[in-house]
A and B are shown apart, each in its own frame.
Chain A
Amino acid sequence: MSVAERVRAYRDSDFAIIARRTLRNLLSERITRFAFGVLLVVLILGVVGPMIAPYPYNEQQTTASGELMRYEPPSLEHPLGTNDRGEDVLSRLLIGARTTLITGLLAGGLMMTVGLSVGMTAGYVGGKTESLLMRLVDFMYGIPFIPFAIVLITFFGAGFYTTIAILGLVLWRFIARVIRSQVLQIKQRPYIMAARASGASTPWIMRKHILPNIANMAGLFFAMGVGLAILEQAGLSFIGVTDPFTPTWGIMIRNANQAGRVADAWWWSFPPGIMIALTVLSLYLLGRGYEGGGDDEVVV
C-alpha cells in the first residue's frame, strides 16, 4: 500500500471518522475552542519551551559587576524578572511548561489506565469481582490524598517520576467510578448482547464495543485527570515533598512561597500560578465537554 492509500484508508476508518466527529463537536462551542487554544499553546510551550528559554533555567544571573541579580522585577532583559537565587523566571516558566505537562500527561495517563481497567473490569465482569473492586475504590476514596501521598513518597523517594506515579496510582479512583457506571449502562445495550450472541468473547467485546463507546468519556476524564494531577502536584510541591530540582510550575510557586515572596515578587509566583490555573481550567472545560459529563462523580 502506498502511503497515500494508507492515509486514505486511515481517514476512512471508523476510528478516524469518529475522532473527527468528536473533535468537531468539541470545537463547535466557544468555551471548548478557547480551552483547546490554551492547551495548544501550553503543548507548544512544552515542546519548544526549553529551546526558546532565554537563559539556562538554573543559571544565577549576575550584573556586569558580578553582583547577584535577585528579585529583579520584570525588565526587557528578564521579562518576568528573577527569583531569589537570581534565576530568570521566564526561562524557568518555559522549562516548567514541559515538566508540568509531563507530570500531567503521565499521571493522567496512569490514572486513566488504572481507572479504566478497574472500572471496566468491575463494570463488565460484575459479581464478586465488582464488589471487591468497588470496595477498593471506596477505600481509595477514604484516603486523604496529600498526607497519603507524603507517606508514599517516603516509601519511594521524592523523585520527579515517583511523584507522577503516586499521583496516578492514587487519583484514579474517580475515573474508575464513572467508567464503571458507564460500562454498566453500556453492557445492558442490545448491541453488546448481539455481539455476545454472535459468539464474541469477553475480551473482544471489551475491546471492540465497550472501549470505543467509553472512549469519549474516558478522553474527557483523561483531560480532567491531567488537570487534577497538575493541581495535586502543585499541592505536594507546596508541602515540599516533591523533587525541587525539576522546576515545575508548582515548584515555582512553592519556592516563591517558601521565600515568603508570593506577593512582593509577584512576577515570580503569579506567572506559574496563572499558567496552572489556565491549563487546568482548560482541561476542566474540555473535560466537561458535552452536557452533564458526569460531573457529580468527580469528588476528589
Chain B
Amino acid sequence: MSDPKTMLRQRVDELLATYDPATVSATEFLGARFDAGLAWVHFPEGHGGLGLPQEYNEDVANWLAEAGAPEPDRSRNGIGLGMVAPTIMAIGTKEQQEKYLRPLYTCEEIWCQLFSEPGAGSDLAAVATKAVLSGDTWTVDGQKVWTSGAHHAKRAILVARTDIEVPKHAGMTYFLVDMEDPGIEVRPLRQITGEAEFNEVFLNGVKIPDADRVGETGEGWKVATTTLNNERVAIGSGADREAGHIGVLAEKWRKYPAIRSEAAYHELMHWWIEAEVTRLTGERLRQQLEVGQPGPEGSAMKLAFATQAQAITGLAIELDPDHGLLYDDWTMHRPDSTDFLGRDVGFRYLRAKGNSLEGGSSEILRNVVAERVLGLPAEQRLDKGIPFKDVPR
C-alpha cells in the first residue's frame, strides 16, 4: 500500500485531469473534488473525505492552489464551512450528512447562524425563540439578531427553546432550517458604520421537520457549544508580521512623513510591539497544534486582537486629523462579506468596535480565561437549577 501522501497526489492529479479548473465551473469542480474525497480528507469516505489525518488537508490545498483550482468561498459561506460542516459531521444523522454536506461545500447552499437574540447576547443560553413539536414537525416563533449573510443564505442553524420547565441550559434544541420558509423574514440591521453587514431574522410559524433536528431534544446547548468551539480554534495563528491594522498604519507612516512625530512614534511602536508579540503567540500556538498539543491561548489572543484593532485604528485617526475628520461613505449597503481592513480609516475604527463583542465579548472571554485557564472560582449563578420560565430576564 502506498503512503497517504502519494495516494492523495494521485487523486489530485486525476481530479485535475478530469476537471480542468480552467474550463469547468467552480461549482462543478468543487462537486467533483468532494466526490473524490478531497474536500476535507479527515472526513469519512462518501462525505467529502477519505478518513485520513487532518494534516494532509494542507498538502491537498497547496497542490490544488498551484494548479489554479477554485476553493470554496469562505468569505460568503464561512458559517457553513467552518461551523455547520464539523457539527453535522460530529453529531448529525447520516441523512443530514448526505443531504447537506455536498451543496454546502460547493457553496450552492450558503448557511447562516440563528443563535443570538435581543435578550440573549452574552448570555447565549437565554434564547427565548420557541419551538413546539406537533407530529413530526416543529413550529418555531421568535426573533434572532446579528445574523450575517441571512439575506443570501439558503439554510441556517438555529437554537430554540423547546422546554421552559427545565433550567435554561437543558431546554434548548438545535435545528437546521430552510431559510426559504415563508415564515422567515429577514431585515437588514444597520450598524454604526452605516452598513448593514448583519440582519435581524423574524420567525413566525416556521416549520422544521423533526429530521432536521441535530442531536437530541434538549441537547441544543451541547451542540451549539460544539459549533462555537469550531469558531475559536487556531485564531490568528501563523500570520505574517504587520498583518492587520498595524501594517496599514505602518505603511502610512512610511509613506507620509507629515504624520510623524516623536510622541506618535512611541505610541506606534508600542502597538507595533503588541501586535508582534500577539503574532509570535499565534505562531507558537500554530506550532503546538502541529504537534498535537493545542494550548489555551486562543481566547486570550482574541482579547489582544480586539484591543489592538481598536487602539491602532483610533491612533491612525489621530495621526492624520484632517483626514480622520472625514468618512468615506455613510450610505447604507449590504456587503456580501466582512473586510475589517477594507475602506478608509474611519470605517476601520468603527468596525473594530465590534471585535470586542462578536464571537464572544471581551468580558465573557475574560471570564473564560479566568475560570477555565486559571481555574478561578466561577461567578455565583442566579439562574442555576431554576426553570427557564422563572428566571429573571
A, B co-complexed: no
Residues of chain B having any CB pair with chain A under 8 Å:
none
